[in-house]
Amino acid sequence: MQKEENNKCVIVIFGATGDLAKRKLFPSIYNLYKKGSLSENFAIVGAARREWSDNTFRENVATSIQDSKINVDADLDDFLKHFHYLSFDVTNTSSYQNLHELINELDEQFNIPGNRIFYMAMAPQFFGTIASYLKSNEVTTTIGWSRLIIEKPFGHNLESAQKLNIDLREAFAEDEIYRIDHYLGKEMVQNIEVIRFANAIFEPLWNNRYISNIQVTSSESLGVEDRGGYYDHAGALRDMVQNHMLQMVALLAMEPPNRLTTEEVRTEKIKALRALRPMKSEDVDRYFVRGQYGRGMVNGKEVNGYREESNVDPNSATETFVAGKLLIDNFRWAGVPFYIRTGKRMTEKSTKIVIEFKELPMNLYYKSKDEMHPNLLIIHIQQDEGLSIVLNGKKVALSGETTPVKLDYCSSCQDVLNTPEAYEKLLYDCILGDATNFTHWDEVSLSWSFVDTISKVWENSIPTDFPNYEAQSMGPKISDKLLADDGFHWWPISDDSPYSILKGENINENV
C-alpha cells in the first residue's frame, strides 16, 4: 500500500529537449512503465526553452524510445499520454507560476497525491537559480513529498560545490536532494557490497593482511566527441575521478554497514573517504600521472588528437587520462595501495576492478618452472558484467607444475534482457525515496577536497609533453611506473579475450 502511494508522482524534467533526457531518461521511464514499476498515476512535465507543443514533445519522446535498444510495445501511446510540455525560461517568475498550475492540474487529472520530483537535466549554472525560483513560487510546497535529482557536475571544485549546495539547501533539505552518480546505478557496482559482505570466502580476507593492492580501471575508447566545450574546463580528474572513481574506491574500502539503510551505508562510505590520505602538493607528481591523447589509428582510420577536437583549445593542457595511487589510512587498509586509472581514447571501453591477493608465506611449488600466480578477484563492471577468480591449479601433466585457473561468472549473460540501465534503477530509487545509491553532500565535499589539491598543482604546472599518449593505447607509459615502483603492474582489462589476464605476454602490457 505504502509503495503504491509512493510511486504516484509528477516528474518535472528541466532540460527535456536535451541529450540526457533523450538518450537516458525517456527510455528509462518507459522501461519502468513497461515493468509496472510506475503506476498509472504519474505524469511527466518536460521543460525547456523551445516552443514545443505537447504533441511535438510526445513525438520526440517516442523517437528517443524507438532509437534506444528497448522493445517497444503497443502501449507506447498510452504511455505518451502522461507527457506534457512547458516552454520555460529559468529566470522568469511566470514560468514557475505556469509550472505550478500545470502540476496542480496533473495532480488532479492523474490522481497524484502531491508528490514531485524535479530533475535538473540542464547545464549546472542553472541549478541554484531553478531551486530558488521553485521555492519562492511555492512549487516545492506540497502535501506530498518533493525531491530534487541533480546531475553532475556538482561544482567545479570544493568552493563552487559548497556554494551550489547552500543554494540548493535553501529550497530542499539534504534528505530531499538526490545527487546522481550513474556509476552507483550500475549492476556490478551495486554488487560490490554483496560480493564483499555476503561471502565468507572474501569477507575475512578483505584487508591488508591478505590483499596486496587494488586496481580500478575505467577506460573509454571514444574521444571527447561533441562535449569539448564542457570537458576542456573539466578534464578527467573532475569528470571521472572526483565522482565515479572515488565512489568505487569508497565501496571497496568501506567497513560493513550495521544495516542496509541509506544512512548506515553512506556513513561507512563517508568514513572511508575521510580515511583517504590527503595529497600534499609536493607529492602530487609522485602519486598522480596525467595524460592527453594525441592522434592514433582506430579501426584503420586516423582519429584526431584531443587538441584538434571541436570546442577544444588547440593548446589545451586539459588531461584526458589520470592514473593515481591512493592510500587509506585506517587499520584495514594501511599499506595497501589503491591504484586508479581512467581515460578517453584508450584501447577499449572497459571498467574493471582487480583485487590482487598477497603471496602465501611459503611457496611449495616455487622450484617448479613457473612461479605461482597471485590470486585475483576481478569484478567486471562493464562491458561484460560479472566476476572472475584466478586461482592456481596443477597442470594436466606428470610434472606437478602449477598453472593459473580462471573461474568466470557472467551475470549479464544470465539475464541479458532484464539488466536495467543505471538511470532506470536510480530514478526508481528516487521515486521510492531510497537515497542509498546517491551521493551525500559529505561524500561530494570530501571528494572535492581530495581532488582540489591535485588540480591546483596541475593548473600551476603546464605539462610540456602533451599529447603524451596515442589514441587507442593504454595511456602514457609513465602510469606503469606508479605500480612498478611498488613491485606491481596493471592487470590487463580486455573484455575480448577473457583469458588474456592469464597470459604472460599480456601481463606488463605497457612496461
Ligand X SMILES: O=C1O[C@H](COP(=O)(O)O)[C@@H](O)[C@H](O)[C@H]1O
Ligand Y SMILES: NC(=O)C1=CN([C@@H]2O[C@H](COP(=O)(O)OP(=O)(O)OC[C@H]3O[C@@H](n4cnc5c(N)ncnc54)[C@H](OP(=O)(O)O)[C@@H]3O)[C@@H](O)[C@H]2O)C=CC1
Q: Is 5 helix (H, G, I), strand (E, B) or coil?
A: helix
First to last CA, the chain: 59
Q: Which is nearer to ligand X, 166 or 222 (CB)?
A: 222
Question: Which position among 113, 114, 124, 463 is part of the footprint of ligand Y (CB under 6 A)?
Answer: 124
Size of the site for ligand Y (CB under 6 A): 19
The reply to whether 444 sits in an annotated binding site is no
Identify the sign of the CA torsion 201, 203, 206, 207: negative
Selecting among 82, 244, 380, 440, the annotated active-site residue is 244
Spatial CB neighbours of 9, under 8 Å, sequence gap ≥ 6: 42, 112, 115, 116, 117, 144, 431
Q: Which residue has the cell 574500502?
A: 253
Q: Which is nearer to ligand Y, 129 or 258 (CB)?
A: 129
CA dihedral 74, 78, 79, 85 (to 10 degrees): 130
Spatial CB neighbours of 277, under 8 Å, sequence gap ≥ 6: 326, 327, 328, 329
Question: Which position among 151, 239, 319, 480 is part of the footprint of ligand X (CB under 6 A)?
Answer: 239
- By CB under 6 A, residue 116 contacts ligand Y: no
Identify the sign of the CA torsion 391, 396, 400, 401: negative
Question: Which position among 6, 7, 34, 50 is part of the footprint of ligand Y (CB under 6 A)?
Answer: 50
The reply to whether 422 sits in an annotated binding site is no
- Which residues ranging from 14 to 33 are in contact with ligand Y (CB under 6 A)? 15-20
- Which residues ranging from 129 to 188 are in contact with ligand Y (CB under 6 A)? 151-153
- By CB under 6 A, residue 426 contacts ligand Y: no
Give the bridge partners for 293, in sequence order: 469
Least distance to ligand Y, CB of residue 126, Å: 6
Q: Return the residue nearest ligand Y (CB atom).
A: 18
Pick the stretch among 83-91, 272-280, 370-378, 392-400 that binds ligand Y (CB under 6 A): 83-91
Are 144 and 122 within 8 A, CB to CB? no
- By CB under 6 A, residue 48 contacts ligand Y: yes
Q: How far apart are CA 297 and CA 314, in angstroms?
A: 20
Spatial CB neighbours of 474, under 8 Å, sequence gap ≥ 6: 219, 346, 347, 490, 509, 510
Size of the site for ligand X (CB under 6 A): 5
- Quick note: the x/- pattern for ligand X over 382-421, rule CB under 6 A, is ----------------------------------------
The reply to whether 320 sits in an annotated binding site is no
The reply to whether 186 sits in an annotated binding site is yes
Pick the stretch among 66-74, 115-123, 388-396, 402-410 that binds ligand Y (CB under 6 A): 115-123
The reply to whether 393 sits in an annotated binding site is no
Residue 220 binds which entry of ligand Y, ligand X, none, CB below 5-8 Å type-dependent: ligand X
Q: Which is nearer to ligand Y, 182 or 307 (CB)?
A: 182
Q: How far apart are CA 424 and CA 111, in angstroms?
A: 23
Interhelix angle 187-197/246-253, nearest 10 degrees: 20
Closest residue by Cα to residue 438 from 181, 166, 145, 147: 181
Residue 276, φ and ψ in degrees, nearest 5: -60, 125
- By CB under 6 A, residue 123 contacts ligand Y: yes
Active-site annotation holds for 440 = no
Helical (H) or strand (E) element with 298: strand 296-298
Q: Which is nearer to ligand X, 231 or 488 (CB)?
A: 231
The reply to whether 267 sits in an annotated binding site is no
Residue 85, φ and ψ in degrees, nearest 5: -125, 145
Closest residue by Cα to residue 430 from 25, 21, 14: 25
Are 40 and 103 within 8 A, CB to CB? no
Q: What's the full length of the chain, in residues?
A: 511
Least distance to ligand Y, CB of residue 124, Å: 5
- Which residues ranging from 164 to 193 are in contact with ligand X (CB under 6 A)? 182
Q: How far apart are CA 381 and CA 391, in angstroms?
A: 21
74: its cell numbers? 503497443
- Which residues ranging from 357 to 386 are in contact with ligand X (CB under 6 A)? none
Q: Which is nearer to ligand Y, 225 or 359 (CB)?
A: 225
Least distance to ligand Y, CB of residue 294, Å: 25
The reply to whether 440 sits in an annotated binding site is no
Binding residues for NADP(+): 15-22, 49, 89-90, 152
Contacts with ligand Y by CB under 6 A lie at 15-20, 48-50, 88-90, 121-124, 151-153
List, as residue ranges, the binding site: 15-22, 49, 89-90, 152, 182, 186, 220, 239, 344, 349
List, as residue ranges, the binding site for substrate: 182, 186, 220, 239, 344, 349
- Active centre residues (catalytic): 244
Binding site for ligand X (CB under 6 A): 182, 220, 239-240, 351
